[in-house]
């Protein structure tokens, strides 16, 4: 029999099939589900029904299933920073922080305690062996690739990580789940933040935790043109909810200054830039000089640019990136670096 594997099962179709494939490959498989969020959830992967789906799939496959309560860690390492970033006028990536701190740190430490060397997930990405060690690569299904949200994983994690779905399309995954009669075969995907409910939304979530502050909206000349009730809800590129007078050309948010409670708007052309400042940057292995494929959101289209000092220099004009967003660099479909975009003043 192959090595025992701990499989992180979220209650979705991907992790269900990942467990099934590893079991079929001869591994001793144990399914685990992290209970992260104790508050209300009607989306994402934190609802009570998701834990139940994971347990039932494990029963169907004939494998053990355990639930780990990491709620305190989640509140400290994901929810707290998410709220703090919004208070600072930033646009955070909570799923990346969940991967960094929970799925591939806290869970791996639990795997160590239980004697598991290998961890598997249902992410659509690949671990690629190179002369410089394991590297994270894009999944075969471009539309479902999740390497962006996994870019923080280092070589020590990748050596222990199995990604059975990396070479498959989503259609392939659903077909396998249907053939195995898994209850998650046709379960809809969720791409929302798991702790923000559809019923109450982000503004209510933040308003329950921090005082939301009104802000003045100005144009590039400094003239007041509107107001917003909550600067914490504003992000780069936003067009609606800015309190602007009608009858004028559309205006877009081009800067958010939380310290002065000011939002700057401009024309669509003002969103274009040739550089993006970086708060931080980390190369994976050697520095990758020259043009790279750079991606600024989980489902965004990668575009050409280079990392020069503490900024991205785009090959072509690029839309402004909100402070707090992750920027991930690829070469030959392998992750070679990543960092956090900084504030770009108007």
Q: Which two tokens stand for residue 310?
A: 């503490």
Distance CA 108, CA 119 (A): 7
Residue 218's nearest CA partner among 230, 228, 232, 233 is: 228
As a whole number of Å, the end-to-end CA separation of the chain is 60
Distance CA 168, CA 129 (A): 18
Q: Are 75 and 34 in contact (CB under 8 A)?
A: no
Widest pairwise Cα distance in the chain: 71
Q: Are 212 and 203 in contact (CB under 8 A)?
A: yes
Q: Are 260 and 308 in contact (CB under 8 A)?
A: no
Distance CA 58, CA 66 (A): 10
Active site residue 296: no
Q: Are 317 and 231 in contact (CB under 8 A)?
A: no
**Helix, strand, coil distribution of the chain in percent, nearest 5:** 25, 30, 40
A 10 A CB-CB count for 227 gives 15
Distance CA 331, CA 138 (A): 10
Distance CA 20, CA 17 (A): 5
Q: Are 136 and 282 in contact (CB under 8 A)?
A: no
Q: Are 107 and 68 in contact (CB under 8 A)?
A: yes
Active site residue 98: yes
Q: Are 13 and 124 in contact (CB under 8 A)?
A: no
Catalytic pick among 45, 95, 194, 296: 194
Catalytic pick among 45, 46, 95, 98: 98
Catalytic residues: 98, 194
């Amino acid at each position: 029999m192959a090595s025992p594997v701990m499989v992180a099962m979220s209650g979705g179709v991907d992790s269900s099939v990942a467990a099934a494939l590893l079991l079929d490959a001869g591994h001793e498989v144990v399914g685990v589900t992290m209970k992260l969020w104790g508050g209300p959830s009607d989306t994402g992967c934190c609802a009570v029904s998701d834990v139940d789906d994971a347990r039932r799939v494990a029963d169907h496959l004939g494998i053990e299933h355990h639930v780990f309560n990491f709620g305190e860690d989640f509140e400290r390492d994901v929810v707290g920073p998410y709220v703090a970033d919004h208070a600072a006028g930033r646009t955070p990536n909570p799923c990346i922080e969940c991967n960094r701190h929970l799925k591939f740190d806290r869970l791996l430490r639990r795997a160590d305690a239980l004697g598991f060397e290998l961890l598997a997930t249902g992410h659509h990405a690949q671990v690629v062996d190179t002369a410089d060690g394991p590297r994270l690569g894009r999944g075969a299904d471009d539309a479902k690739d999740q390497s962006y949200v996994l870019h923080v994983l280092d070589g020590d994690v990748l050596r222990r990580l199995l990604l059975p779905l990396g070479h498959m399309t989503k259609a392939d995954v659903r077909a396998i789940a249907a053939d195995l009669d898994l209850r998650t075969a046709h379960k809809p995907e969720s791409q929302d933040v798991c702790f923000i409910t559809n019923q109450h939304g982000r503004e209510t979530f933040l308003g329950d935790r921090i005082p939301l502050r009104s802000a003045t909206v100005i144009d590039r000349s400094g003239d007041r043109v509107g107001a917003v009730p909550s600067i914490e809800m504003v992000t780069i590129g936003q067009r609606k909810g800015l309190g602007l007078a009608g009858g004028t050309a559309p205006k877009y948010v081009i800067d958010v200054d939380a310290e002065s409670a000011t939002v700057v708007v401009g024309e669509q052309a003002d969103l274009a830039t040739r550089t993006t400042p970086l708060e931080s940057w980390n190369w994976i292995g050697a520095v990758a000089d020259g043009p790279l494929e750079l991606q600024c959101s989980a489902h965004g289209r990668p575009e050409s640019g280079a990392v020069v000092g503490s900024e991205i220099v785009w090959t072509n004009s690029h839309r402004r990136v909100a402070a707090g967003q992750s920027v991930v660099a690829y070469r030959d479909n392998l992750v070679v670096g990543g960092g956090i975009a900084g504030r770009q003043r108007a």
